[in-house]
């Protein structure tokens, strides 16, 4: 769903292609016609788009679960060393 720019009032469509080098995504129904009559997708910056529904298969679910575990460990802290803990170990 495009939320900003020239194409924001158009219908919702699927993401057809992602061009990571250019930071651009191509959406199903957002096309323009070239001078020779061929239709091409219009590149849209990802910050102007809201993903409404993810396509989740087992591999993608596994990746999301792994990232969630990492975030939980990050919230607990990295286990900083204090002077007391160092003194007790020696």
Give the CATH number for residue 64.
2.30.30.30
Task: Give the pLDDT of residue 12.
Answer: 80
Task: Give the pLDDT of residue 54.
Answer: 87
Please tell me what DSSP assigns to residue 2. B
Question: Is the model's pLDDT at 20 over the cut of 90?
Answer: yes
Task: Give the pLDDT of residue 43.
Answer: 93
pTM for the full predicted model: 0.64
User: Average of pLDDT values for 45-52?
Assistant: 91
Which pLDDT tens digit goes with each residue over 61-77?
A: 999 999 998 888 776 66
Domain hosting residue 26, numbered range = 15-78
Task: Give the pLDDT of residue 79.
Answer: 65
Q: Is residue 6 part of a domain?
A: no
Q: Is residue 42 part of a domain?
A: yes
Count of domains forming the chain: 1
């Amino acid at each position: 769903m495009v939320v900003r720019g020239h194409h924001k009032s158009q219908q919702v469509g699927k993401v057809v292609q992602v061009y990571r080098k250019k930071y651009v995504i191509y959406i199903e129904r957002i096309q323009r016609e070239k001078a020779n009559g061929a239709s091409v997708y219009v590149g849209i910056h990802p910050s102007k788009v809201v993903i409404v529904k993810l396509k989740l298969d087992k591999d993608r679910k596994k990746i999301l679960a792994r990232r969630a575990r990492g975030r939980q460990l990050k919230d607990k802290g990295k286990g900083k060393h204090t002077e007391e803990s160092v003194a007790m170990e020696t």
